[in-house]
Every structure is written in structure tokens, then in C-alpha cells.
Structure 1
Amino acid sequence: MERELDYKAIGKRVKIARIKADMKQEHVAEKSGLSPTHISNIETGTTKASLSAIVSVANAIGVTVDDLLCDSLIHARPQFEQDIAELIEDCDDYEIRMVKDITEALIATLRRDAHLRQ
């Protein structure tokens, strides 16, 4: 089964990674050999970025291709675990407890209704 790439999700991850790296689109463009317009189009998901463009952007920003493509990968557990860890790293005790309780309820519901995935 072929899975379609989610270019909007890839673009969102590129933008987030670029911002975390404190880089402007122009700097990513310069380091990747792509035009600033192309970087902008990748970030908005309005273009279907080639594999070579994604690799160039990942290298320019200093992230892995998996970091950018994980929403389109079936086996991307480590990346999603890292995303979850980043989401909760600045939570206070109350927020952590609520996230844990909600996650526990969500997992129970997902497993109870697993037959609906088919």
C-alpha cells in the first residue's frame, strides 16, 4: 500500500525546525542551495518538495529527514516520542497529571475501539 506524502505536515515541521534553529528562510535557502521562494512554498505545503530538496533543507537546518517526514512514515515512533517529550517538558505538576490521565483514557478508548481502525 503506497502512502501519499503529507506536504503540509512536512512544511509545518520544516518551519518549526527552522524557527527552533533560529534561522530565517533566507538563511536556510542559502545553506540548502534552494531559493527563498522555494523554502516558503515547502513550509506552506504548496509545492511537492523533492527528496533532494528535503535532504538539503534537513542538512541546512541540522535535523534528520525523519524529523521532517515522520508524519508520512508508518514507523516513526522515536520521533513521535520525542515530540511528546517536548510538548510536556515545561508542564507543571498539575498539567503533567492531566496529560497522563487524558492519555490513559485515550489509550483505553483506542484499544477498546481498535476494531474500528479496519
Structure 2
Amino acid sequence: MKIDYTAVGEKIRDARLNARITQEVLAEKTDLSITHISAIENASTGVSLQALTNIASELRISIDFLVFDSRHSNLVIESEIKNILSDCTDREAQVLLELLKASKEAVKRLK
């Protein structure tokens, strides 16, 4: 399998922006240089497994999400849901869970 470094870089940039952190902060927290983070995001360089692991961990996303094409696999979806819930209060998480359950039922009725 060939890794699409352009897609990986775009996903990292999107996740970093969604987390509202700068390249500088990500570089500091992953022990990489700002130049290296920029090069990874722009696909002008590859990324080592260690760097990819550190970035994924810091951004709270799965390596599967970064490396594989499908944004719809269950692992990717679970990772995105975890990320969404990560800064919620217990009450906010409960409300979102109830909304998800209601949405699921509505989707099933549409079939």
C-alpha cells in the first residue's frame, strides 16, 4: 500500500486547525520543528512512524484516520466522536448521546 502523503498532510492540518493549535504548538508538543510540521502538512516530505504516532496522539486522532483513505470506517468515526466529546461536560456528553440516538432512529425510519 502506498501512502498518500498529500492526504495525510491535509488531514493533519485539518485536525490541527480543528484543535485550534498552531504549527508551533504542535511542533513543540511532538518534539518536531515547525519547518518539519509545515513540510508534513504540505507533503513536501514523508513522515516517520514515530512522528505520525506523536502527531496523532497530540491531535487525539487515530493513525488509521491519517493513513487510510476511508473517512467512514468505524474506527475513524469512533475517533472523531471521541474527539468531539473530549472537552464536553458530563451533561453536554449526555445531551449529545441522546441526540445521536434520536438521529439514528430517524435515519433508520427513512430506509
Return the TM-score normalized by structure 2: 0.63
Are residues 1:64 and 2:62 paired?
yes
Task: Compute the TM-score of the two structures, normalised by the length of structure 1.
Answer: 0.59
> What's the offset of the Cα at 1:80?
6.9
In the TM superposition, residue 70 of structure 1 has moved relative to its aligned partner by 2.1
Residue of structure 1 aligned with 2:15, choices 14, 17, 31 = 17
Is 2:45 aligned against 1:51? no
Show CA shifts across 1:41-84 (max 9, x none).
Answer: 0001110101111001111222121121122x7xx72237988x
Larger mean Cα displacement after TM superposition, 35-44 or 57-66: 57-66
CA distance in 2, matches of 1:81, 1:4: 25
1:77 lines up with 2:70 in the alignment:
no
The DSSP-based 3-state class of the residue aligned with 1:22 is: coil
Q: CA RMSD of the aligned region, Å?
A: 2.2
Q: Percent same amino acid among aligned pairs?
A: 37
Query: Which structure has the bigger radius of gyration?
Result: 1
Across the two proteins, how many residue pairs are aligned to each other? 78
Go from structure 1 to structure 2 and tell me whether the alpha carbon gap of 1:51 and 1:82 turns closer, same or farther (over 3 Å shift). closer
Residue type matched to 1:9 in 2?
A: A
Query: Equivalent residue for 1:27?
Result: 25
Residues 27 and 70 (structure 1 numbering): CA distance in 2 closer, same or farther, change over 3 Å?
A: same
Aligned residues of 2:62 and 2:79 also touching (Cα < 8 A): no
